[in-house]
């Protein structure tokens, strides 16, 4: 049975439709991703799952309950990691965890024991008595995630968990999230980082302008919306566009960007040989595997939407 079940979920703010009739299910223990550009409706969807955003229409069930009508009950089994850290700056690091646990009505003894475990999990034992304002960005993020675990949630909602972090901090975080997944916790992640989605998500939906435009595992989405490999060629700004027609005939799909031409095919090396055989001689060339980023850009476009 699905732990989250959304059907025709819609959210309007006045005239603006933020989420436009989306349907999806999340299975227990699954790591589910919501991908999309800014303004696609990811965070709004997250807020509705947590019951802090009210839906305009459609149905939504989280752990068999309606988050709108049974907010406190639903949130008792939910861990929420919001987009921007909202730690309690009036409290020390350790107290942030203790107090948050008390919000869930957990007994003090239990909360204290859990707090020490979580400080270790978040690698913040040495910072336990520090002020929140003195933590680095990565530490704050880890504390926010640790805080979301205090009530042993069965679902964790992570809204852009690693935005603004350096590569080291991101990898530590991914590692921690992966451990949670191994413990059987269901993860719901929004992100616009494709590598993050590939790292974390078993299955994902791509959202654009409030709608779901694609759904599947990262590998399946690449198979469906892209080719196995991509050949990137640079001929110099003036020639890229001019050569597009000829190059397109060699590939499954071709795309000219201002600085390079992208050729989608199942064998990029063979394609590159053919290009050279025809005497087109690009200035630089690169053959790589197709990534989720190719899928994402194909589905949601390359121009800024804002």
Single out the residue of 17, 39, 92, 248 in contact with other proteins (rule: CB under 8 A).
Answer: 92
Residue 296, both tokens: 């994402």
Angle separating helix axes 218-225 and 292-300, nearest 10 degrees: 60
- Specify the DSSP element, H or E, that contains 222: helix 218-225
Q: How far is the CB of 12 from other proteins (least distance, A)?
A: 12
Residue whose CB is less far from other proteins, 58 or 216: 58
If binding is defined by CB under 8 A, does position 64 make contact with other proteins? no
Considering only residues 186 through 245, tell me which ones interact with other proteins, judged by CB under 8 A.
none
If binding is defined by CB under 8 A, does position 99 make contact with other proteins? yes
- Phi, psi for residue 41 in degrees, rounded to 5: 105, 10
Single out the residue of 7, 57, 102, 283 in contact with other proteins (rule: CB under 8 A).
Answer: 102
Residue whose CB is less far from other proteins, 16 or 304: 16
Q: How far is the CB of 191 from other proteins (least distance, A)?
A: 19
158 vs 171: CA distance, rounded Å: 15
If binding is defined by CB under 8 A, does position 76 make contact with other proteins? yes
- Judge whether 179 and 190 are in contact, CB under 8 Å: no
Letter string b/e over residues 105-125, b meaning 16 or more CB atoms within 10 A of that residue's CB: ebeeeebeebbeebbebbebe
- Which range touches other proteins (CB under 8 A), out of 46-54, 230-238, 267-275, 282-290? 46-54
235 vs 176: CA distance, rounded Å: 43
Contact set with other proteins (CB under 8 A): 50-54, 68-73, 75-76, 80, 82, 86, 88-92, 95, 99-100, 102-105, 151
């Amino acid at each position: 049975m699905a732990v989250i079940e959304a059907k025709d979920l819609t959210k309007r703010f006045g005239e603006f439709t933020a989420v436009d009739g989306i349907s999806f299910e999340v299975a227990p223990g699954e790591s589910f991703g919501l991908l999309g550009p800014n303004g696609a409706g990811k965070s709004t969807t997250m807020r509705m799952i947590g019951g802090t955003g009210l839906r305009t229409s459609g149905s939504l069930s989280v752990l068999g309950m309606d988050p709108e009508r049974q907010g406190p009950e639903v949130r008792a089994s939910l861990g929420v990691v919001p987009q921007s850290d909202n730690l309690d700056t009036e409290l020390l690091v350790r107290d942030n965890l203790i107090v948050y646990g008390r919000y869930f009505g957990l007994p003090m003894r239990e909360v204290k024991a859990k707090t020490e475990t979580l400080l270790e999990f978040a690698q913040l034992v040495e910072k336990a008595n520090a002020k929140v304002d003195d933590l680095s960005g990565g530490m704050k993020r880890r504390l926010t995630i640790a805080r979301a675990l205090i009530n042993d949630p069965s679902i964790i909602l992570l809204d852009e968990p690693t935005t603004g972090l350096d590569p080291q901090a991101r990898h530590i975080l991914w590692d921690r999230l992966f451990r949670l997944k191994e413990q059987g916790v269901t993860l719901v992640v929004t992100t616009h980082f494709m590598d993050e989605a590939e790292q974390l998500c078993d299955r994902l939906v791509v959202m654009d302008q409030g709608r779901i435009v694609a759904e599947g595992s990262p590998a399946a989405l690449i198979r469906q919306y892209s080719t196995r490999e991509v050949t990137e060629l640079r001929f110099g700004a003036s020639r890229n566009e001019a050569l597009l027609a000829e190059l397109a005939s060699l590939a499954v799909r071709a795309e000219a960007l201002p600085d390079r031409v992208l050729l989608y095919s199942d064998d990029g090396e063979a394609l590159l040989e053919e290009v050279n055989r025809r005497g087109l001689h690009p200035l630089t060339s690169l053959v790589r595997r197709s990534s989720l980023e190719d899928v994402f850009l194909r589905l949601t476009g390359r121009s800024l939407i804002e």
